[in-house]
A and B are shown apart, each in its own frame.
Chain A
Amino acid sequence: MALADNSRLASYLAEKLGGSELSISKEWQNTEGWSMETFSLDVEYTKGGNKIEQAIILRRQPVSGLLEPYDVSIEYRILSALQASKVIVPETFWYEADPAVLERPFYVMEKVPGDVHFVTQNSDPDYRLIADDDERASLAEDFIDNLVHIHQSDWKSLGLDFLGDPGPGKNSALQQIDYWSDVIERAGVRAKPLVTLAVNWLRTNAPETDQVRLVHGDYRTGNFIYQHSHITSILDWEMTHLGDPHEDLVYVLGALWRSPAPTDWVCHLLSEEDFLSKYEQRSGISVDRDKLNYFQLLLDLKAVGIMATAANAFAQNKTEDLKPAAFGSILDLAYAALAQHLNERLSSC
């Protein structure tokens, strides 16, 4: 699907890149993502007398979808701020708010070379998402290091306090419950008794967070680019916020991105025990098992919110893209996960 009239887009890009005689040699829409619209463009232009070939990524705000309401400028600001951190992220170029250019706001960044894993569930005990053990071990190290860098980043000095500091105490958890309750309300399923039970339990049992950290919010295999056995970029910062780092930890441990038994590796990379002990050792942050259990339930609530929003986007005729509809059609799986963990919490106290 073409983004826009080729010559008009070429003129715009030439002006922004400070070049001339720009041509778009290749343009395609990436199909892996299910939320933001991502386009890859190979461009050639002249700058300062030199011929330049460059691959760029254009991330455009969708009309509607899984994580609405959308504001693509937030992801742009996060990625731009993280350039000054130890986290490996793509270089950002500019943000375009003017809908006259490509109908909706977008930003442009470098296209980092490499591949992205697509994680699917597989019950074959011999299945390996990453076939080479040395490569898997190397990626596991980078995976932990980058998560530690995210959680150790000084978000205030990076200028990320615009994300909203929940402050110490229970607010990290309570703000997330409020946020996702509102999302679920807008999606029209807040009055499901299961959701009400879960929200009330989470509010009653919110844990204290001693130090507010930057939380990626979608940290897993499938959301990084890798090349030559190393992670070359951490992607998908759409759900990033300030809060409790256990949110990211429990997300990494998620069942949807574990390798099948008997390995049961988290994110198809390493055992849960190795992941948590290495994370603790490198970050200096103690892992609290009770908090992991708590944030698992919050994560299940979040999944209900995302799937219900996707379903609602279809139901309300907000999008012609059927991906959100397909995602929303399995909402019962999100309810089932929420029910399973709510049962554990209600039975255990």
Chain B
Amino acid sequence: MLDMPFIRIIEGLNHTLENVIAPEVESTLAKGQLFAVVEILKQISGRFDHKHELIVEDIQVSQQMLTTLIETFTAAAIDIPDEFQANTETIDATAMSGEQLRQQRDRLEIIVSAALDLLNSHRAEIVDAQKVEHTVFMQLGKNLFRNMLLVSQHRFDKISQLDKED
């Protein structure tokens, strides 16, 4: 979900705030404040974008994985689609918008997945396919760890309203 454009996330939040939550709020002060939140979110939504450097790192990692897989296929004399090689070329991230970068990242992930499926379907012809899988997995590792650190401590008990005294 957090891969979505922020403008879309804020639209969704505002829809629920305005149509589901506001009608249940009895205090006029609280209701007014809630609409102020909706208004602020709406005004700032068009000015947000994902951090480019995170998406660029994701793209670089996918290209690394793809390169490793192409080397493996080449060594085992397995034919590969042209798009594998074409997508290892360095991109000019500075010339791309956030939306274009996200699309490029998603496209690359689809290609890497297809390459992993190809590897899996040729396991018998590849020397130690699992070692290759572990190598590409380790290439992914840094970004997975980075993303995990970006997650804040959640407070689902508050959402479930079990702490009734609060």
Do A and B make up one complex?
yes
Judge whether A329 and B1 touch: CB under 8 Å.
yes
- The answer to whether residues A196 and B148 also contact, given A31-B160, A322-B13, A346-B130 and a CB cut-off of 8 A, is no
Main SS at interface, chain A:
helix
Judge whether A31 and B161 touch: CB under 8 Å.
yes
Judge whether A32 and B160 touch: CB under 8 Å.
yes
Partner pick for A339 among B24, B140, B151, B160, CB 8 A cutoff: B140
Q: Tell me the nearest residue of chain B to A32, going by C-beta.
A: B160
B37 within 8 A of A: no
Min distance, Cβ A65 to any Cβ of chain B, angstroms: 13
Partner pick for A343 among B13, B114, B136, B137, CB 8 A cutoff: B137
A201 within 8 A of B: yes
Partner pick for A200 among B116, B134, B140, B160, CB 8 A cutoff: B116
Q: Note all chain B residues with C-beta closer than 8 A to A239.
A: none
Within 8 A of A (CB), among B115-135: 116-117, 119-120, 123, 130, 133-134
Judge whether B8 and A336 touch: CB under 8 Å.
no
Bound CA span A326–B16, Å: 13
Q: Note all chain B residues with C-beta closer than 8 A to A196.
A: 112-113, 116-117
- The answer to whether residues A320 and B117 also contact, given A31-B160, A194-B140, A332-B151 and a CB cut-off of 8 A, is no
Judge whether A339 and B141 touch: CB under 8 Å.
yes
- The answer to whether residues A193 and B141 also contact, given A204-B120, A332-B151, A335-B147 and a CB cut-off of 8 A, is no
Judge whether A325 and B65 touch: CB under 8 Å.
no
Within 8 A of A (CB), among B73-127: 106, 109-110, 112-114, 116-117, 119-120, 123
Q: Note all chain B residues with C-beta closer than 8 A to A118.
A: 157, 160, 162
- Chain A, residues 23-40, CB within 8 Å of chain B (1/0): the string is 000000001101000000
Judge whether A204 and B123 touch: CB under 8 Å.
yes
Q: Tell me the nearest residue of chain B to A193, going by C-beta.
A: B112
- Which of A13-21, A167-175, A310-318 lies on the face that meets chain B? A310-318
B51 within 8 A of A: no
- The answer to whether residues A320 and B15 also contact, given A193-B116, A332-B148, A332-B151 and a CB cut-off of 8 A, is yes
Bound CA span A335–B112, Å: 17
- The answer to whether residues A32 and B20 also contact, given A200-B120, A332-B151, A339-B141 and a CB cut-off of 8 A, is no
- The answer to whether residues A120 and B157 also contact, given A200-B117, A201-B133, A331-B1 and a CB cut-off of 8 A, is yes
Greatest chain B CB density within 10 A among A193, A204, A310, A329 is at A193
Judge whether B109 and A315 touch: CB under 8 Å.
no
B19 within 8 A of A: yes
- Chain B, residues 136-155, CB within 8 Å of chain A (1/0): the string is 11101100110110110010
Bound CA span A203–B2, Å: 29
- Chain A, residues 186-226, CB within 8 Å of chain B (1/0): the string is 00001111111100110110000000000000000000000
B29 within 8 A of A: no
A267 within 8 A of B: no
Nearest first, the 7 closest Cβ-Cβ pairs linking A and B are A311-B1, A336-B148, A346-B134, A196-B113, A328-B1, A200-B120, A332-B147
10 CB contacts below 8 A, A to B, read: A1-B24, A118-B157, A118-B160, A192-B109, A193-B65, A204-B123, A322-B16, A336-B144, A339-B137, A346-B137
Interface residues of B (CB under 8 A from A): 1-2, 4, 8, 12-13, 15-16, 19-20, 24, 62, 65, 106, 109-110, 112-114, 116-117, 119-120, 123, 130, 133-134, 136-138, 140-141, 144-145, 147-148, 150-151, 154, 156-157, 159-162
Q: A200-B117, A317-B15, A320-B19 are in contact. List 20 more A-B contacts (CB 8 A).
A: A31-B160, A34-B160, A120-B157, A191-B110, A194-B137, A311-B1, A311-B2, A314-B1, A314-B12, A315-B1, A315-B8, A322-B16, A326-B154, A326-B156, A328-B1, A332-B147, A332-B150, A339-B137, A343-B134, A346-B133
